[in-house]
């Protein structure tokens, strides 16, 4: 059968019309050829389907190959908006890992005083676009904030916020800690 | 330039425009129906397509254009009402029945239609045909989809990639 195939943007129009409750069809369609896989993996397609089919996030062009995140001793503290916040007791480090792009950002060492650990602490990562309208579908490439909450005998309850915008990603590990602001 | 009253000048009759397919067949159709195409709408508003001129459509053959116009003529009254707020349930059901039968056609015609709808920017038609093609490939295996859509058989390299993907997303094939 000699049939002219629809162009990529028409294929997108077709694939976008799969029922939201049928992600399996989308997975199969992604297999048809590289062009279709690219269409389904594209950020624009993810954005268009995000409200109906949050599943499309799995069609990433490249599987994560992070070696650092597979070393023992890393613990996931939080995962939000396409980022994972990992902590290593061994190295006393926190990194923010984007599993889709495999990009890692090492946060500046926050704690110099081991006494801070005694009373417990936790941290969370979140979108840092500052836009309340952000759909969080494709903001994982943008700025982020890490909020650290701890308690100590000398400081009491305290919060620190790391912003990837005010602290450049590269060389962040070498910057004097903490470059973040103190709140509350 | 504005010449909205072009054509035969008879205010009582609907204004007609002429469309010319790639194989030089002329189609005379009401301007309101042709205006479902965003592309044509501008030309028609400018007064084009009337009289003996006609609007050439070098990317659309006569068989496809005939189907496109069948859709436009059927949908023009509803579109003139600004969508469906005034349409009765009967009207809507009738349009739905028409749409269902309309896309019950040969696959090659479907492809020609979706491309024509895209080129002519007829949103409703593009959406209708895209939904039909999506329904056709829904629930099929990748190989079945390839055959349904007339893809050539995969190269060994493509086959290897497909197998690797199947391993990764095995649940999608159960």
- At A111-125, the pLDDT tens digits run 555 555 556 788 889
Predicted confidence (pLDDT) per residue in B17-44, tens digit: 999 999 999 999 999 999 999 989 888 8
Question: Chain-wide mean pLDDT for chain A?
Answer: 70
pLDDT bucket at B51, cuts 50 / 70 / 90: low
Q: What is the DSSP string of B46-74?
A: TTTT-TTT-EE-TT--HHHHHHHHHHHHH
The pLDDT score that the predictor gives to residue B171 is: 62
Contact assignment for B107 to A3 by CB distance below 8 Å: yes
A17 touches chain B (CB under 8 A): yes
Question: Chain-wide mean pLDDT for chain B?
Answer: 81
Distances (CA, A) of A70 to A67, A177, B122, B136: 5, 26, 51, 42
Instruction: Pick A60 or A88 by higher pLDDT.
Output: A88
Task: Delimit the domains of chain B by residue range.
Answer: 16-81+88-138, 139-174
Instruction: Pick B160 or A68 by higher pLDDT.
Output: B160
Res B89 pLDDT > 50: yes
pTM for this predicted structure: 0.62
Contact assignment for A3 to B108 by CB distance below 8 Å: yes
A25 touches chain B (CB under 8 A): yes
Average pLDDT on A68-87 reads: 75
Res A131 pLDDT > 50: yes
Reference B136, options A36, A8, A29; nearest CA is A29
The pLDDT score that the predictor gives to residue B116 is: 92
Euclidean distance between CA atoms B95 and B72, whole angstroms: 12
The closest CB to that of B165, out of A2, A6, A31, belongs to A31
Element (H, E) at A104: strand A103-106
The pLDDT score that the predictor gives to residue A60 is: 52
Instruction: Pick B11 or B78 by higher pLDDT.
Output: B78
Measured torsion, CA atoms of residues B85, B88, B91, B97, in degrees rounded to the nearest 10: 90
**Quick one: B16-81+88-138 is in which CATH superfamily?**
Potassium Channel Kv1.1; Chain A (3.30.710.10)
Predicted confidence (pLDDT) per residue in B99-149, tens digit: 999 999 888 888 889 989 998 999 999 999 999 988 888 888 888 888 887
Pairing relationship of beta strands B55-56 and B16-20 according to DSSP bridges? parallel
For B86-96, b where at least 16 C-beta lie within 10 A, e where not — what string? eeeeeeeeebe
Average pLDDT on B2-23 reads: 65
Contact assignment for A32 to B145 by CB distance below 8 Å: yes
Euclidean distance between CA atoms B44 and A159, whole angstroms: 64
Instruction: Pick A72 or B114 by higher pLDDT.
Output: B114
Distances (CA, A) of A159 to A70, A116, A143, A149, A180: 29, 12, 19, 5, 10
> In a 10 Å sphere around its CB, with 0-12 CB exposed, 13-18 middle and 19+ buried, how is residue B133 labelled?
buried
Q: What is the DSSP string of A12-80?
A: HHHHTTS-TT-HHHHHHHTTS-HHHHHHHHSHHHHHHHTTT-GGGGG--SS----SGGGSTTEEEEEEE
Report ipTM for this prediction: 0.73
pLDDT bucket at A65, cuts 50 / 70 / 90: very low
């Amino acid at each position: 059968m000699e049939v002219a195939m629809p162009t990529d943007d028409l294929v997108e129009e077709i694939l976008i019309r799969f029922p939201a409750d049928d992600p399996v069809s989308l997975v199969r369609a992604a297999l048809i050829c590289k062009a279709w896989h690219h269409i389904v993996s594209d950020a624009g397609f993810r954005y268009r389907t995000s409200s109906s089919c949050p599943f499309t996030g799995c069609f990433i062009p490249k599987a994560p190959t992070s070696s650092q995140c597979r070393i023992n001793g890393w613990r996931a503290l939080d995962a939000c908006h396409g980022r994972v916040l990992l902590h290593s007791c061994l190295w006393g480090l926190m990194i923010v890992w984007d599993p889709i792009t495999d990009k890692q950002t090492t946060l500046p060492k926050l704690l110099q005083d081991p006494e801070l650990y005694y009373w417990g602490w936790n941290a969370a990562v979140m979108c840092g676009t500052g836009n309340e309208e952000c759909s969080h579908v494709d903001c994982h490439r943008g700025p982020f904030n890490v909020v650290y909450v701890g308690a100590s005998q000398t400081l009491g309850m305290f919060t620190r916020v790391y912003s990837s915008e005010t602290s450049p990603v590269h060389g962040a590990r070498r910057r004097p800690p903490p470059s973040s602001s103190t709140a509350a | 330039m504005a010449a909205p009253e072009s054509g035969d000048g008879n205010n009582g009759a609907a204004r007609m425009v002429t469309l010319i397919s790639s194989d030089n067949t002329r189609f005379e159709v009401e301007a309101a129906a042709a205006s479902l195409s965003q592309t044509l709408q501008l030309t028609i508003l400018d007064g084009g397509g009337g009289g003996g001129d006609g609007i050439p459509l070098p990317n659309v053959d006569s068989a496809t254009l005939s189907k496109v116009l069948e859709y436009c003529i059927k949908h023009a009254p509803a579109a003139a009402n600004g969508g469906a707020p005034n349409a009765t349930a009967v009207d809507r059901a009738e349009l739905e029945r028409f749409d269902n039968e309309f896309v019950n056609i040969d696959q090659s015609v479907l492809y020609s239609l979706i491309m024509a709808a895209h080129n002519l920017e007829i949103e409703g038609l593009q959406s209708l045909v895209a939904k039909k093609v999506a329904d056709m490939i829904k629930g099929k295996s990748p190989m079945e989809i390839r055959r349904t859509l007339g893809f050539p058989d995969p190269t060994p390299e493509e086959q290897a990639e497909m197998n690797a993907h199947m391993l990764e997303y095995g649940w999608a094939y159960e």
